[in-house]
Structures are given as structure tokens and as C-alpha cells.
Amino acid sequence: MAIYLALKEMWRNKGRFVLVSLVIALITALVLFTAALAEGLGSGNREYIQKLDADLLVYKSNVDLLIATSRIDRPTYNDIRRVEGVQQVGALSFSNVSIILDEAQEPLKVALIGVEPGKPGEPPITSGGQLRNKRANEAIIDSNVAMQSGLRVGDELTLKSIQGTEEELYTLRVAGISDSQKYSLQPSVVVPYETFDKVKPQAIAGGAGSELASNVVAVKLNNPAQLEPMAARLQAQVQDIEAVDLKTAYESTPGYSAQQNTLNTQQYFVFVISVLVIGGFFQIQTLQKIAQIGMLKAIGTDNRVIAVAAAAQIVATTLLGVLIGTTVTLALSLAIPSVVPIIFSPLSSSIVIVALILMGPIGGMVSIRHSLKIEPLTALGLAA
């Protein structure tokens, strides 16, 4: 009976209910795009570090976990390697260069990452081969570079770097292609660490060749479950370092936390708006049909029937809006260029959709409560 009453009213006033569903669809699209943007920007900042085949990242102490200002020299690197419980270490260095493409294309800005071949930090490849040795003039490019540049395994790539005040070009062979390994929102080119020392931008031309140092050191443990004890042991046995897990490392990336908090706050505000929109609409609906509800109660209709009918309308309207919004959003996502940092994660999208579906009943609780408090005689104007 309750479902019949709900659907009958929705059909007789379908224009009104469809318009509200479209408003919910717009809210759904906004929240989904915001969630996808948060996921895309977050992934672009943390992807390389998150995928490291390591358990801890070691920085120089007192640098606020900023990779760009951290510097680990070789004696410190060797001390880290000798700590009991450490299985393997790999020096990591980071900079920025550009790949020179054909004349019709702008140079592609990339993150240049120096690693030790065969050590933590060198990404696994999906095609081609790994880096051969620490001096090889070759590189592993990630899938983003391959897609945007058209480079394939065996091709030569030309890197542009600033040496002193002059632009220098370096030619490397593409040894392999990895999956997406973005760092600081840029696609990455991974090279052996001595090649990195030669190619990286430098304030003085020919400045390479001094004692090699890295920004950070990736540490793989014998027992990955002992993260905190091993971090404490490293800091106790090796001077002037700070060791943290990978999650702490990428969350300390400049702007990462502020960026994620801003986008999450936007989502929360949209959720609040959706509650107010749905609640406001159904409250107006209830006020417009006080006489009808009073008549139903006067002829003996139970409050449960009225409540279930109202809840069914709220749920049906919300489901229709969320379905339309989700379908349109996913269709539009197919047309978004791959360079735009938007990722529709199944997990985060599912959480958003479920939350929006729950917002409907929450927003409509006031109108349901109001309809249950209507007195039949008062509603019909027969009260004394």
C-alpha cells in the first residue's frame, strides 16, 4: 500500500521529481569529479614513492622530510647498509629535465630520478630490460612518458638540462618501460645514478664528478613488520639521519596534505548541500500536501504507511539522481585527456556513491517526522 501511494504520487508529479533527481545528479557529478581529482593529484604526488620496493626512506635529519633539501653522502649510505636487519639499500636522487620531441611538439617536462641498478628504487619494467650498470647511457621511462612522447624500447631520447647558464642535450637509449611512476605530478625518467649526476641541472657547468651523494636512501628490511623498531635502530646507529615509512614520506611531500584536505573539505560541503537540497524539497512537498495526509489519517491510515511512502519517494528520487549523475560522469571521463590528473578509483567512487545515496534519507528525515505529527482534524480545518 505504502509503495503504491509513493509511486502513484511520483507518477502524477513526475516533472517535479525528475527535476529534483537532476539536481541530485549534478551534485553527484560534482562530488565524483572532486573525488577523482583528489585521487589523481594525490597519486601524481605519491606514485613513485608509494610503489617503491622498500620499507623505509632515510633522509638527512632536520630537513622536515623534504626530499629536495635532503642529502645523504656515501659514508652515511654505507653506515645505513651495515645496520643489522637491513636487507638492501638504494640511493635515490631527484631533479627535473625536459625531453626534446619533434619540432611540432613542446618539450615534455619530466622528473629525472637517479637510482642504483638492481637496488630498491629501480622500478619493475613492463617491456624491455632493466638498467645494465651505474654508468649506462640508458633510461627506463614510465608509461606516461611513453604515451605522451611515442618513445618505445630501443629508441633514443634527448634530455635537455641546464648546465650553468647553458642548455645541454644528452642522448640516452630507452632500455625499458615501466608502469606509471609519477613523481611531483610529472612522468618520470629513471637513469643510473652516475648518469644522473652527469645529466642533472647544475649551477656550474661541469660540476659533476665530485663525491656522489643522494637525496634519500630507500631501505628494504629483512622483516618488513619491524618498521618502527628498525627506524629507531637506524637513527640510533647512524648519525644525522631520519628514517620513516613510505606513507609518512609521501604525505610529507610539499603541498600534499594541504591539497588533499582542501579537496576533501569541498566534498564534505557538497554532502551537506545535498542533505539541505533533498531535505528542503521534501519538506516543501510535505507542506503542500498536509490536507491529503490528514485525509489519509482520518480514514484510518497508519503512520507507518505514511512514513514508508515518504521514505520510498526519497530513496527512489535519490537513486535516480545518483544513477544519472554517475552514468553521465563516467561517460564524460572517457573524453578527458590522459594528461589531466583525474583518476576514478573504484573504491573512492563507490564510497561517494553510497554516501550520496544515504544523504537522501538523512535529508528527508525532517519531512517524514513532520508528516507523522500532522493531526487529521487540524489538517482538514475541523479542529475547534
Q: Residues 139-184: pLDDT tens digits?
A: 999 999 999 988 999 999 999 998 877 888 999 999 999 999 999 8
Q: Which of 9-18, 79-88, 211-220, 238-247 has the lowest mean pLDDT?
A: 9-18
Higher pLDDT, 102 or 296: 102
Instruction: Give 41-61 pLDDT, tens digit per residue.
Output: 888 888 999 999 999 999 999
Residue 351, Cα to own-chain centre: how many angstroms? 14
Q: What is the spatial distance between Cα 194 and Cα 114, in angstroms, rounded to a whole number? A: 8
- 330: three-class secondary structure by DSSP: helix
Specify the length of the chain in residues.
Answer: 384
Beta-bridged to residue 80, according to DSSP, are none
Higher pLDDT, 325 or 14: 325
Mean pLDDT (whole number) for 32-43: 88
Nearest CA to 320 out of 8, 17, 7, 3 is that of: 17
* pLDDT reported for residue 383: 46
**Res 384 pLDDT > 50:** no
DSSP track, 54-117: -SEEEEETTSTT-GGG--EEHHHHHHHHTSTTEEEEEEEEEEEEEEE--TTSPPEEEEEEEE-T
Q: What is the spatial distance between Cα 22 and Cα 31, in angstroms, rounded to a whole number? A: 14
* pLDDT reported for residue 225: 92
Instruction: Give 345-378 pLDDT, tens digit per residue.
Output: 888 889 888 988 888 788 777 777 767 666 665 6
Taking each helix axis from N to C terminus, what angle separates 256-288 and 290-298, rounded to the nearest 10 degrees? 60
Give the dihedral sign, CA 156/159/164/167.
positive
Q: Work out the number of other CB atoms within 10 angstroms of the CB of residue 375.
A: 13
- Return all residues near 61 (Cβ < 8 A) that are at least 6 apart: 235, 240, 241, 242
* pLDDT reported for residue 333: 84
Query: How confident is the prediction for the chain on average, in pLDDT?
Result: 86
